[in-house]
Amino acid sequence: MPALINTIVDEVILVLNERQKERYFDSVILLYSLIENLLKWTVYADILRKKYHTKKRVTKNVRREQRDIHQFLKRLGFYETLRIALVSGLIDYRLYEKVEGIRTERNNVVHRLWTYQHRHNRAVIRKKLEKLILVTGELMAVSDMTARRIKVDLVWDLLSDL
């Protein structure tokens, strides 16, 4: 997953740096999706870290439980996942407010006529894209910190069958 995340971030930074205006909107949509999925993965990894930090062996029952937790989180929406991240202490309130603003914006883009109204205003879309890439970086830092708290071997063992 980290390689894919880095590839996406590098691509979006290239779009910004080279002012590839025709790709701004696609990059905004891509980052909305990346932010939501990065948050879900980080919450999942943090739950596994807290639940299994003392376990030396991964049994069949533990694997089934991990799959159930994974399925539960996959069904959660952005709204619920963000609140779990806040109440579990995974993110602070400042980052929560930023991501909540992004979640609201994403809903406006997807569910309202924002896209139609601003489809030709590249300055508006670029500003949104710049904000999204900054928040993506903050979430990547939280995700990296969470992954470092878990032994690398344990992360791959816990995630390998999902």
pLDDT of amino acid 146: 84
Q: Tell how far CA 65 is from the center of its chain.
A: 23
Structure confidence at residue 56 as a pLDDT band (50, 70, 90) = low
pTM for the full model? 0.79
Residue ranges of domains in the chain = 2-159
Looking at residue 90, the DSSP 8-state letter turns out to be S
57: alpha, beta or left? (left if phi > 0; alpha if psi -120 to 50) = beta
**pLDDT tens digits, residue range 9-20?**
999 999 999 999
The H-assigned helical ranges of the chain are 2-17, 24-52, 60-75, 78-87, 93-111, 114-118, 122-149, 152-159
Average pLDDT over residues 133-151: 86
